[in-house]
Amino acid sequence: MFIVNSYLLAVIFCFITMLCWGSWGNTQKLAGKTWRYELFYWDYVIGMVLFTLLLGFTMGSMGSEGRPFVEDLMQADGKGILSVLIGGIIFNASNILLSASVSLAGMSVAFPLGVGLALVLGVIINYIGAPKGDPMLLFIGVALVVVAIVCNGIASGRMSKGGEESASNRKGVILSIIAGVLMSFFYRFVAAAMDLDNFEQPTAGMLTPYSAIFVFSIGVLLSNFVFNTIVMRRPFVGAPVSYKEYFSGSLSTHLVGVLGGAIWCLGTAFSYIAAGKAGAAISYALGQGAPMIAAIWGVFIWKEFKGSDSKTNALLAIMFLFFIAGLAMIVVAGGN
């Protein structure tokens, strides 16, 4: 299987993770013009599962180091598989809430609040589980990200226009916060099932990144029959939707959702692959710089802060600066 052997390459992989995690929401925005997010989410999950298989039979099966994808799956013990499945279930619950938040409050609000909160809590959880890197620099970086999140929240509040739109925005903010708390836990369950110290000759029974991401996606798919069915019948906004509506969707609409799942999956797989060299906390933290990428899309492409005043624009500028400074500090922390 393909293995990252240098910290620099691990950082590059983590930045790709950040780009993917911060960009998949664009596919929801595109599909959302004609397609409810609950229906989009099924295609998203299907795209995730299909892409894990593609990765497993390509990068996960090439080279002489580590265990090939199929062999690794066959030797994995039940405890590790269960841990990764739980990680997938937790992630799915949080991501459905995040998707609902995007539909209510927009990318530039949902991602910085939800995923930013997940970064802060997740770094602490992952560092306790697998300490690696300079803790002082790491947590200073996290503190800078917290300031960025606060600035985004204030800017969002200044854009509220009252009435139904304001209520929708508040609901989106609440959902993003709940999503962030849940999302902070999923990575630790996955990392616990992988031998992060030795991908070349992993411990018997433990998983490699390629088998882990596949099992993870199965956990997401199975739990989606419960979580998404509930949300379809009792949506956070709008009328209930049915499976009949899903199967009546056009091929192009379905493919947009599948693409979204593939983009997210690529980022997650690269995060797992990089974790062996960078450590779980660093890999997770860099990937969770995604809110900055999502905010860029939301502010500059989707114009979610169109018509904002100078104070709101100043808050957004401060948000970007503190996100960049925080991510830079996290990179330096991992090199120490």
pLDDT at 133: 78
Tokens of 253: 């609409």
- CA 96 to centroid of chain Cα atoms: 11
Output the pLDDT for position 66: 86
Q: Of 32, 171, 197, nearest to 101 (Cα)?
A: 171
Q: Is the dihedral of CA 194, 199, 205, 211 positive or negative?
A: positive
- 11-48: per-residue pLDDT in tens? 899 889 989 988 988 998 899 888 898 999 999 999 99
Name the band, by pLDDT with cuts 50, 70 and 90, for residue 323: confident
Of 207, 279, 293, nearest to 16 by C-alpha is: 293
Number of domains in the chain: 1
DSSP-H helix ranges across 192-242: 209-233
pLDDT above 80 (res 152): no
- 165 CB neighbour count, 10 Å cutoff: 12
| Domain boundaries, position 281 | 7-334
Q: Which residue has the higher pLDDT, 94 or 196?
A: 94
Number of neighbours of residue 296 by Cβ within 10 angstroms: 16
Instruction: Kindly state whether residue 2 falls inside one of the protein's structural domains.
Output: no
126 against 39, higher pLDDT: 39
Look-up of token digits 């808050």: 315
3-state helix, strand, coil in the chain (%, to 5): 80, 0, 20
In a domain, 245, yes or no: yes
3-state secondary structure of 105: helix
Residue entry with tokens 């989606």? 224
Reported as a single tens digit per residue, the pLDDT across 46-99 is 999 999 999 999 999 998 888 999 999 999 999 999 999 999 999 999 989 988
User: What pLDDT is attached to residue 287?
Assistant: 72
Q: What is the mean pLDDT of residues 112-119?
A: 79
- CB-CB contact of 106 with 304 (8 Å): yes
Report the run of H or E that residue 125 belongs to, with start and end.
helix 116-129
Q: Which of 90, 93, 97, 107 is nearest to 28 (CA)?
A: 107
- Cα 323 to chain centroid distance, Å, stands at 17
The pLDDT score that the predictor gives to residue 104 is: 85
Taken in order 155, 180, 123, 187, the sign of the CA dihedral is: negative
3-state secondary structure of 117: helix
Domain presence at residue 1: no
Residue 90 counted as domain residue:
yes
d(CA 188, CA 302) in angstroms, rounded, equals 33
Residue with tokens 């088998």: 211
